[in-house]
Amino acid sequence: MVKKLKKLPEFKNEDEEREFWASHSSVDYFDWNKAERVVFPNLKPSNQTISLRLPKGLLDRIKMEANKRDIPYQSYIKMKLWEAFK
């Protein structure tokens, strides 16, 4: 059985599109069986590298906490910063 796909609306801006996709399923608009994998080799990372000086004792405690959770300490720092500022 071939499913009839809905016509994708035109969006005025990204916020309108984001709101639309938050309440609609893409399977109603696209045939994902025909999708092709795409690689974007020239994209720049969205992260920015910084240098941060921490007291050795604090860094040791951060590494211990990260180790308890079995995650890299830099990921643990990012997670904690995200929680603090979201």
- The reported pLDDT for the residue numbered 1 is 64
pTM of structure? 0.49
Please say whether the beta carbons of 66 and 73 come within 8 A.
yes
Nearest to 24 by CA among 36, 7, 4: 7
51-69 pLDDT per residue, tens: 999 999 999 999 999 999 9
